[in-house]
A and B are shown apart, each in its own frame.
Chain A
Amino acid sequence: MNRKVLVAGLAVVVPLIALLVLNLGRDPHAIDSPLVGRVAPPFALVPVGGGEPVSLDSLQGRPVVLNFWATWCVPCFQEHPLLVSAARRLGDEVQFLGVVYQDEERNVQDWLDRHGSSYPTLVDPRSKTAIAYGVIGVPETYFIDPQGRIVAKHIGPLDGETLMARLSQARGGAPRASNAP
Chain B
Amino acid sequence: MIALLGRSLILLALVASSTGALVGLAAGWRASAKGAVLARRLAYVFAAAMAAANLLMVWALLARDFSVSYVAQVGSRQVPDWVAVTSLWSSLEGSILFWGIVLGGYVALATWTNRDRHPEYMPYAIGTWLACGAFFSFLLAGPAQPFHSVPQPPVDGPGPNPLLQNHLLMVVHPPFLYLGYVGMTIPFGLASAALLRGRLGNDFLRPLRTWLMAPWVFLTVAIVLGGWWAYEVLGWGGYWAWDPVENASFLPWLTATAAIHSAILTERKGILKGWTTTLVLASFLLTILGTFMTRSGVFNSVHSFTQSAIGPTILVFLATATIWSVFLLAARVNHFAPEGRLEGARSRDGVFLLNNLVLVLFTFTVLIGTVFPLLVEALRGVQMSVGRPYFDRMAVPLGAALLFLMGVGPALPWGSATGEQLRKALLPPLAGAAVGALVGLAAGARSPWTLLTLAFAGYALQVTLREMSLPVRQRLSRGEGLVPALVAGELKQGRRRFGGYVVHAGVVVVVVAIAVSSTLGTSEELVLDRGETATVGRYHLTFLGIDEVREPHRTSLAARVEVTRDGKELGVLSPRMSHYDSQREPIGSPAVRTFLFEDLYLSVMNLDAGGGRLGLHVFVNPLVGWIWPATGIIALGGLLAVLPPPRRRTAVSRQPVTPPAGLGPAPSESR
Q: How far is the CB of B376 from chain A (nearest CB, A)?
A: 11
By the criterion CB–CB under 8 Å, are B609 and A23 in contact?
Answer: no
* Cα A13 to Cα B322 with chains together (Å): 7
Minimum CB distance partner of A138 in chain B: B584
CB-CB under 8 A from A10, the residues of chain B are: 323, 326
B292 an interface residue at 8 Å Cβ cutoff?
yes
Number of A-B residue pairs having CB atoms within 8 Å of each other in the complex: 95
Q: How far is the CB of B65 from chain A (nearest CB, A)?
A: 30
Q: How far is the CB of A111 from chain B (nearest CB, A)?
A: 10
Cross-interface CB contact of A156 among B318, B319, B333, B584, cutoff 8 Å = B584
Q: Which of B295-349 contact A (CB under 8 A)?
A: 301, 303-307, 311-312, 315, 318-319, 322-323, 325-327, 329-331, 333-334
* Cα A74 to Cα B554 with chains together (Å): 11
By the criterion CB–CB under 8 Å, are B334 and A2 in contact?
Answer: yes
Q: How far is the CB of B357 from chain A (nearest CB, A)?
A: 15
Cross-interface CB contact of B318 among A17, A32, A107, cutoff 8 Å = A17
A9 an interface residue at 8 Å Cβ cutoff?
yes
By the criterion CB–CB under 8 Å, are A74 and B581 in contact?
Answer: yes
B579 an interface residue at 8 Å Cβ cutoff?
yes
Given contact pairs A2-B330, A6-B327, A71 touches B609 in the complex (Cβ within 8 A): yes
Cross-interface CB contact of B608 among A23, A74, A75, A104, cutoff 8 Å = A104
* Cα A90 to Cα B327 with chains together (Å): 65
Q: Which of A1-41 contact B (CB under 8 A)?
A: 1-3, 5-6, 9-10, 13, 16-17, 19-29, 31-32
**A68-88 to B contact mask, C-beta < 8 Å, 1/0:** 000111110000000000000
Number of contacting residues on B, CB 8 A?
Answer: 41
By the criterion CB–CB under 8 Å, are B322 and A73 in contact?
Answer: no
By the criterion CB–CB under 8 Å, are A22 and B583 in contact?
Answer: no
B1 an interface residue at 8 Å Cβ cutoff?
no
CB-CB under 8 A from B327, the residues of chain A are: 6
Cross-interface CB contact of A5 among B329, B377, B580, B583, cutoff 8 Å = B329
A179 an interface residue at 8 Å Cβ cutoff?
no
Minimum CB distance partner of B297 in chain A: A28
By the criterion CB–CB under 8 Å, are B305 and A31 in contact?
Answer: no
B383 an interface residue at 8 Å Cβ cutoff?
yes
Interface of chain B, helix or strand or loop or mixed? helix
Cross-interface CB contact of B584 among A21, A73, A104, cutoff 8 Å = A73
By the criterion CB–CB under 8 Å, are A5 and B292 in contact?
Answer: no
Bin the interface of chain A by size: 35 or more
A120 an interface residue at 8 Å Cβ cutoff?
no
Q: How far is the CB of B645 from chain A (nearest CB, A)?
A: 34
Minimum CB distance partner of A22 in chain B: B378
A127 an interface residue at 8 Å Cβ cutoff?
no
Q: How far is the CB of B347 from chain A (nearest CB, A)?
A: 27
Q: How far is the CB of B379 from chain A (nearest CB, A)?
A: 9
Minimum CB distance partner of B329 in chain A: A5
CB-CB under 8 A from A49, the residues of chain B are: none
By the criterion CB–CB under 8 Å, are A107 and B305 in contact?
Answer: no
A42 an interface residue at 8 Å Cβ cutoff?
no
Cross-interface CB contact of A2 among B306, B318, B333, B367, cutoff 8 Å = B333
Interface centre among B311, B315, B330, B377 (most CB of A within 10 A): B330
Q: Which of B435-492 contact A (CB under 8 A)?
A: none
CB-CB under 8 A from A147, the residues of chain B are: none
B386 an interface residue at 8 Å Cβ cutoff?
no
B600 an interface residue at 8 Å Cβ cutoff?
no
CB-CB under 8 A from A72, the residues of chain B are: 579, 586, 609
By the criterion CB–CB under 8 Å, are A20 and B315 in contact?
Answer: yes
By the criterion CB–CB under 8 Å, are B584 and A23 in contact?
Answer: no
B431 an interface residue at 8 Å Cβ cutoff?
no
Top-5 shortest CB links A-B:
A9-B326, A6-B330, A5-B330, A22-B378, A23-B374
Query: Knowing that A2-B329, A28-B305, A138-B584 are A-B contacts, what are 17 other residue pairs whose CB atoms are under 8 Å apart, sorted by A's residue number?
Result: A1-B330, A1-B331, A2-B333, A3-B330, A5-B326, A9-B325, A10-B323, A13-B326, A16-B371, A17-B322, A19-B378, A20-B292, A21-B315, A23-B374, A26-B305, A74-B581, A139-B584
5 A-B residue pairs with Cβ-Cβ distance under 8 Å, sorted by A, are A1-B331, A5-B333, A10-B323, A16-B371, A107-B608
**What residues make up the interface of B, taking CB atoms closer than 8 Å to A?**
274, 292, 301, 303-307, 311-312, 315, 318-319, 322-323, 325-327, 329-331, 333-334, 367, 371, 374-375, 377-378, 383, 579-581, 583-586, 606, 608-609, 670
